[in-house]
Amino acid sequence: MSAFVTLTSISLSTPDARPLFEGLTLSVGRELTGLVGRNGCGKSTLLDVIAGDAAPAGGSVHRAGSVGRLAQMPEAGVSVAEALGVVEGLARLARLAAGEGSVADAAEADWTLEARLDAALARTGLPGLDLARTLGTLSGGERTRVMLARLMLEAPDVLLLDEPTNNLDADGRAAIADLLETWRGGVVVASHDRALLERVDRIVELAPVGVTVFGGGWSEFAVAREASRERAEADLDRASGELKRAEREAQAAREKQDRRDKRGKAARAKDDAPKMLLDARAERAEATRARGGDVAGRLVGKGREALAVARAQVAIETPLHVDLPVTGLPAGRDLLSLRAVVMTRGGRRLFGPLDLEVRGPERIAVRGANGAGKTTLLRAIMGDVAPEAGEVKRLTERIAMLDQHVSLLSPDESVLENLRRLNPDLNEHTGRAALARFAFRGDAALQAAGTLSGGERLRAGMACLFARAEAPWLLVLDEPTNHLDLPAVELLEAALSGFDGALIVVSHDDAFLEAIGVSRAVWL
């Protein structure tokens, strides 16, 4: 199979020359390749390199085919036709159909454009979309689908997709899945969407300790990754045991030599042999001690080096763990009541009338298409907006919300300053203790919130909410996995699966909802 793109010994660095990864050699042909790794590991930069928009720190790129990338979203005032890049082509066809076209129009006309355009919009879930509409009148998911349709029209040999399912509803995700299933060229997709990663032919994991290329989809990769973690733990145990053994042997050798030296000194004191001979014996004894010390020192030094390497690998392989505090929510406690709630936007009804009761530690997903009003519902629950009709009753004050941007954090304040601003009863000591439970220890608590990754921001936001004297009984989450890397998603899943409070979650991520034990869904 011929390759459209060949990467040879690629290494990437940050603008301040911090290495991201090195030694990536990869050929991209007619297959699906998934890119995974922590936020900031270089996934987007690697897509830039493949597209020719950035140069690698080392290595080379050879392109034997065309490369197309899911474009950045145009301004909201741009029409759908402009976003699709078909304005000129459709105008040319219109002139020819009206008998007003020029010779140049006839020569340059793409007579398949209209049929291909209809097919692209249909495949992305936007059949019959009015091309005169502006992007600002579409939901975020619909805009993404428009840009996917543009890629289909351009039909490059290799598609580059960067988190393509973020903000997409079920139909949008199905459109992405269909695109990958039927694309005849190559695809490189950076994603944390496990359902999407199940469809790929191989996964490339980027990390400072090395690049891993794994043949297979997400499930097989997850099994292999867990085995790698177990090996790392075993290597740490083995290195720790070998260091202790080397230290014991070195200590035993020193004690044995000390006993020999003591006996030698006593014998020398009694010996009437010539001084020159006694001195030679002493020198030989000292040389023997030095050689033994050098050997023991080298063994202990190697043991310590091996232990340091094993510890570093475990730190990389083993995910963080966060335990949310116990809330003590009674099983029959009423938390929230919505009666005949209707929400509108710009005179258009979003949903309703809606009835919803939340009692005890329920786990509820809010589902619906992009633009259905899911976030508006959450804002109504929190009292930020009033319903057009109906009634929202919060039956406890112990309700807290985290949006996908964790906007409760001030970006210019440190994590500790944010926590103390939101919990003024905490002093620095108790604030640091609260942050340590969420893996912000030492200087990590002093990082500016604006410099944190998506997963770190989520941890910081949760730390601020759960540092309260009374932990939330009901936690409301709006697309919490958007902008998170997979380790951060798994950390959140582990934390929420053990949470004894109630959850209302807006999410399109079925794997996430299953992992946190959602028991029912509200569809808008």
Q: Degrees (nearest 5) of the Cα angle 375, 407, 316?
A: 105
Number of H helices, E strands in the chain: 16, 17
Chain-centre distance of CA 308, in angstroms? 27
DSSP one-letter code for 271: -
Size (the chain), residues: 524
Q: Coil, helix or strand for 277?
A: helix
In terms of CATH architecture, what is 5-220? 3-Layer(aba) Sandwich (3.40)
Q: What is the pLDDT of residues 102-122, one digit of tens each?
A: 999 899 999 999 999 999 998
d(CA 178, CA 152): 12
Amino acid 265: pLDDT: 61
What are the domain boundaries of the chain? 5-220, 225-317, 334-523
Q: What's the token pair of residue 97?
A: 């159909």
Which of 519, 502, 475 is CA-nearest to residue 334? 502
Structure confidence at residue 502 (pLDDT): 97
Inter-residue contact 150 to 60 (CB < 8 Å) = no
**Cα–Cα distance between 355 and 137 in angstroms, integer?**
28
Count of CA atoms in the C-beta half-sphere (13 A) of 127? 4
Helices (H), 423-500: 428-436, 454-466, 486-497
* Closest to 203 in 3D by CA, of 185, 183, 224: 224
Give whole-number Cα distances, 473 to 315, 342, 362, 392, 408, in Å: 33, 25, 10, 17, 18
Whether residue 156 is preceded by a cis peptide bond, meaning omega within 30 degrees of 0, is no
Per residue in 491-512, pLDDT (tens digit) is: 899 999 999 999 999 998 888 9
DSSP state at residue 470: S
Domain 334-523 adopts which CATH fold? Rossmann fold (3.40.50)
Asked if the domains at 5-220 and 334-523 fall in one CATH topology, the answer is yes
3-class SS letters over 111-159 = CCHHHHHHHHHHHCCCCCCCCCCEHHHCCHHHHHHHHHHHHHHHCCCEE
Tell me the average pLDDT of the chain. Answer: 85
State how far the Cα of 31 lies from the Cα of 417, in Å rounded to an integer.
48
Against a cut of 0.75, is the pTM above it?
Answer: no
Q: Give the SS3 label for residue 473.
A: coil
pLDDT tens per residue, the chain (524 residues)? 589 999 999 999 988 888 888 999 999 999 999 999 887 788 989 999 999 999 999 999 999 999 998 876 778 889 999 999 999 999 999 999 999 989 998 999 999 999 999 999 988 888 999 999 998 888 777 888 898 899 889 989 999 998 888 777 777 788 788 888 888 899 999 998 999 999 999 999 998 777 889 999 999 988 887 777 777 777 777 777 777 877 777 777 777 767 766 666 665 555 555 555 545 555 665 555 555 555 556 666 676 776 666 565 555 555 567 888 899 999 999 999 999 999 998 788 999 999 999 999 999 999 988 778 999 999 999 999 999 999 999 999 999 999 888 999 999 999 999 999 999 999 999 999 999 888 888 888 999 999 888 888 888 999 999 998 899 999 999 999 887 888 888 889 999 999 999 999 999 888 899 999 998 999 99
